[in-house]
Structure 1
């Protein structure tokens, strides 16, 4: 105890838990909820509680930011995977993975000529 004479104050439960490095007990004692300091406590006692509260709140906020980032990255990865597996829709052609877009007539003719020449060159 800090010797202020207010032994039943919640801040003393928190301060005692923090002194023995039991953060869980301090949180259960109201570390994150306590706003008012014990009026008789020393500045060191109050500063210790405020610093621990600030550290815990910062850690909780960081954890929430991390979880939100992980969820965002997971959603983006799923969207990319869906775009990769989805076939590109070409107007006038049937949809589906087996449907391939047709070549323009000039390109199809050039490809046919090239295949014919390649077939003629093979022994």
Structure 2
């Protein structure tokens, strides 16, 4: 079996839409070298095709990441919205604490009602 140069293998895999195999073979690490455009006489655009495949994959991965981030953001916003809409949890039968000034006024009123001037 004849071992083809790596760029030729990568191009064959890209053209056959075998992107997983091309990725495993090192597509994303491909850097054009002098003479790559002459490896296949019927494909002088070999370096450009491989670079284009790299860019398309990067764009797809970035889009997937943006989609995932958006989904997380939307889920967080929905949870926040649902939390705002939910009725408050029932609190135990505790009387709310009065501010200090209100407590003082109440104490004076109780004392006055009881007939103890203060």
**Shorter-chain TM band:** 0.5 to 0.7
TM-score (norm 1): 0.60
- Map of 2:101 onto structure 1: none
Residues 38-77 of structure 1: pairs in structure 2 closer than 5 A: 38-42=33-37, 43-77=44-78
- Map of 1:27 onto structure 2: 23
Give the C-alpha shift of residue 39 in structure 1.
2.1
Q: Whole-Å Cα distance in 2 between the matches of residues 50 and 97 of structure 1?
A: 63
State the superposition RMSD in angstroms: 2.4
Residues 1-123 of structure 1: pairs in structure 2 closer than 5 A: 7-8=4-5, 10-34=6-30, 36-42=31-37, 43-87=44-88, 96=90
Give the C-alpha shift of residue 86 in structure 1.
4.3
Structure 2, gaps ≥5 residues long: 38-43, 94-118
Structure number with the higher helix fraction is 2
Give the C-alpha shift of residue 19 in structure 1.
2.1
Structure 1, gaps ≥5 residues long: 1-5, 88-94, 100-123
TM-score (norm 2): 0.62
Give the C-alpha shift of residue 98 in structure 1.
9.1
Aligned partners of 1:14 and 1:49 also within 8 Å? yes
Aligned residues: 85
